[in-house]
Structures are given as C-alpha cells and as structure tokens.
A and B are shown apart, each in its own frame.
Chain A
Amino acid sequence: MTEENFEKFLKKTAQGYNAPPVRVPREEMWAAIQAKRTAGPRVVYGGGTTSPVHERRFGTRVWLGAAAAAMLLVATGVGIGRLTAPTPTPVAGKSSATLPVPGVIVSGEQPAAEASAPNRVASAATQNSGRQAGVSSVPRPSRAPQNVASNAGDNAVRSQPSRLTPSSAYQLTALQNISEAEALLTSFRSRSSADQQMDAQLGTWARQLLTNTRLLLDSPVGDDPQRKPLLQDLELVLVQIVQQLSPGGTPQDRDLIEKTLQQNHVMTRLRTAIPAGAQRGS
C-alpha cells in the first residue's frame, strides 16, 4: 500500500519537474531548422553533420576524426616500439641484461655494427629524405658509433630487417606527431576567436597531441638531442593552447602562445623537422 502511495505521490509531484512551457515555440524552431539546413553543415549534438553538402563536411568534423586517427597511430607506434625496443642484440661475452638499451648506448662499449641498426635506419631514412639530414645526422655523443655505421652503407641494414622496427616506429610516430602539431598550430593561429565550435574541436585535438607529445618525450625519441627540445617546446605550446581553449581561457593567453611560438621559433622548427614529401597534418 505504501509503495502504491509513493508511486502516486511521485507521479503527481514530479509533474512539476522541468515543466515545459504550455506554448511550444514551433514557428521559431521551424525557422531555425530551415535556416540551419540551408546554411550548410553543422555539427549537431551527438555527432553527425546536418548538411548533405559533402565538400563542406571536411571542414567541420575532419579534425576530430583526424585527431583520433593520429592518436591511435601514435599510440600504436609507441606501443610497438616499446614492445620491441628493449631487445638488444646479444654480444658474445655479455649477457643481454648488461647491454644498454638503444637510446642510452655508451660509445665504444660495444661494436657499432651490432648496437646501432635501428638508429642507422632512422638516420639513413632521414638522409634519403633530404630535409631531415641536418637534424638527424648530427652526431650524438652517445651514439657516435651508430652514425659511423650509417656512413658505412645500407647493406648492413638490409641484412637485419627484424631490427628495423623499433626505431622506425618511433621515427614515424614522431614525424606524424610533428606534422599534426604543425597543422594544429596553423589552424589555431588562423582561427576566429568567435567560433566556439572550432575552438572545441581544436581543444580536443590539442589535448590529444599533448598526450602524444608526452608519450614521445618518454620514448627513445625523447633522447634525441635535436627532437627533445622541439618536443618540449611543443608540449609547452600545446599546454597553453589547451588552457586558452578551456572555458576560463582569456585573450591574453593567445598573446602568450603567439609569443612562445615566435620566441622559440616553434613553427619554423616544426616545418624543418618534417621531411620533404611527408604528409603535413591531415
């Protein structure tokens, strides 16, 4: 009995919960629907666009999709790299446990041809690509033997295909991340501050790139003396962008971002780090 009473009481009392107005604004909503349908695509609540104009779909939702795809790629790349990276080649007289991992090889401690295959691949790849040569072929103190081996030719690389994966995966992932970042920063600088929808999309994208950048900083790519400062500066800019695009962001934040970009020449360095022919952003 009490249960029935409670149900009746609940139904009766709950009628006042978020009570809609008596008059439904039919005409206003219909006018808005018509306006939106003729105006072009919009991202509606719950996803999806609202216009059949396919050319303009690219501009609205593509960033979210691209960002998700990029994040997946980066995560996969880093994951593969991590799974396969700590398998240094056994050297006679040394247990594998005593061998340094690829990112922290001490010069002269082991034969160059044995220790540096993955990095030689990256080096060779970037040299072939042309634009990156100045970045990746700079001898690193801890990896001098690798670069020596790199100059020795590509035959050794081809003879050890199974060892190409880790460094290649990291390099590819880093390159993808840098390309995405360049596209994001370009979009961010050219955006209109009144477009909240775009801000939301850029914010999501920036957060994903920030995560990827931090993952990369923790990966062997983060040991690269050329890439590390760039990734660190990129991390700073991305943090600023995420903050600026958050609800509490102010126009002053945007000035700060612009200042950081200019002072650290982030855009120029990003573009320099992208080899010719690589796909920029997405």
Chain B
Amino acid sequence: MQLVAYESRSSVNDTQLITRVVAGDAAAERELYETYVDRIYRLTFRLAGDDELARDFTQATFIRAFEKIGSFRGESSLSTWLHSIGLSVTLNGLRKTKRQRTREAPIEEGITVGFAREEAEPDLKERLARAIDSLAEKYRTVFVMHDVEGYTHEEISEAMGIPIGTSKSHLFQARSKLRVMLADFAPEWVS
C-alpha cells in the first residue's frame, strides 16, 4: 500500500531533505512536494469533495510548509507535520466555505440536510455520503482518515493534535451515528 511506502522513508532522508529545502534548494522542494502531494491531495479531496477546493487546500498546504519549514523541529515525522498543516488548512477552509454556502443557501434547502430526503433517494451510496457529510467535523475527519484513507490512530492523533484514545472514541462515535442513520440498510451488512 502507498501508506507503507511513505512510512518507510527514513528520518535521515527527511532530515536531509529538510536541510536542503531550508538552504533554498529548489530541487529539494520539488522532491518534498512529489513525495507527499498525492497523499495530501487525496485527503483534502476526501474531506472537501471538490477538485477545485482540494487543489487550493493542497497548494496552500505546501506553500505554508515551505514557508515554515525552517521552524520544523523534527519532533514528529515530516509526513505528520505536513498532514497537520494540511488538515488545519483544509478544515479551516471548509469552515469558511460552509459559512459562505450556509449564507447563500435558501432556508428550505437548509432544512433538507440530513434525513429529510431519505424517501426520495434510497440509494445506499448516496445515503452514506449524506450521512458522513452530516457528521460533526471531528467525527467525519477521523472516520475519513481511518476507515476511508487507512490512516492509523497514531497518525490521526498526531496530525489532529489529539490523544489516540480520543481518535478511537471519535471513530466509535462516527460509526455509531452512521449505523443509526443507515438503519434502513441493515440487511446489507447483516447478510
């Protein structure tokens, strides 16, 4: 899996790479970008659900990373550090976008978020997507990272800056809520 490839990058490699980037080596910047961009983009896309937003967030993540890499102390891995920036950028960006969209959306539309259209659209994937969207941000983030993108609780806790136990608790909550929301489809998993 891709994840394993990233994990196998030694801290020595990362340290050397960082040193070169800090020294202004353009090739090193590109190397750092190439190494991590796929994973950052995938995560931002999963959370944003929109290519344009995912691109914006990914670009902002790397711009900020290059800007702040001089202050990177190596207390966590480079991957974790980049993911924490990526998550911060993405979640803040989504909050702004959500606020904007909420202001723009007519009241009737707002009411239909959640279960109101269940009867009209019985498709499982559609329902699941809507159910995931309706989760609280912290639950959705952990769920997407763990169950969809395959991050470990350790990685999630470091990237989100929360204890591992909290990450597990969020995942449990997310699954429980989804289970309730998808109760109509129980035969699908019981069988």
Contact = CB atoms under 8 A, between A and B. Distances in A.
Which of A7, A20, A37 has the most chain B CB atoms inside 10 A of its CB?
A: A20
B45 to A, nearest CB: 4
B48 interface: yes
B45 A18 contact: yes
A28 interface: yes
A44 B64 contact: yes
A207 B125 CA distance: 41
Contact of A45 (B51, B89, B104, B132): B89
A2 interface: yes
Interface stretch (A8-16, A79-87, A96-104, A127-135): A8-16
B63 A45 contact: no
B106 to A, nearest CB: 11
Contacts of A8: 189
A124 B96 CA distance: 47
Q: Give the size range of A's interface with the partner.
A: 35 or more
Interface in B133-190: 143-144, 147-148, 175, 178-179, 188-190
A46 interface: yes
Nearest to A25: B55
A92 interface: no
A158 B163 CA distance: 58
Interface residues of B, number: 50
B125 A6 contact: no
Nearest to A28: B55
A13 B58 CA distance: 26
Contacts of A44: 60, 63-64, 89
Interface string A1-42: 010011111110111111011001110111011001100001
Contact of B148 (A17, A26, A32, A48): A17
Nearest to A21: B51
Given A17-B148, A18-B47, A50-B63, A45 B41 contact: no
A7 B63 contact: no
A48 B93 CA distance: 12
B175 A10 contact: yes
Given A11-B147, A14-B128, A46-B88, A33 B34 contact: no
B76 interface: no
B128 A2 contact: no
A17 B58 contact: no
Contacts of A26: 33-34, 37-38
A48 B60 CA distance: 10
B33 A6 contact: no
B108 to A, nearest CB: 16
Contact of A14 (B48, B96, B148): B148
B30 A17 contact: no
A29 B46 CA distance: 17
Nearest to A43: B60
Interface in A240-258: 246-248
12 contacts: A6-B179, A10-B175, A15-B148, A16-B128, A17-B128, A18-B129, A28-B55, A30-B33, A44-B63, A46-B93, A50-B64, A247-B104
Given A9-B188, A18-B46, 18 more contacts: A6-B189, A8-B189, A14-B132, A14-B148, A15-B148, A16-B128, A17-B128, A17-B144, A20-B45, A21-B51, A25-B55, A29-B37, A29-B55, A29-B58, A45-B60, A45-B93, A46-B88, A50-B64
Shortest 10 CB-CB contacts between residues of A and residues of B? A45-B93, A46-B92, A9-B189, A20-B45, A18-B49, A44-B60, A50-B63, A5-B189, A46-B89, A18-B46
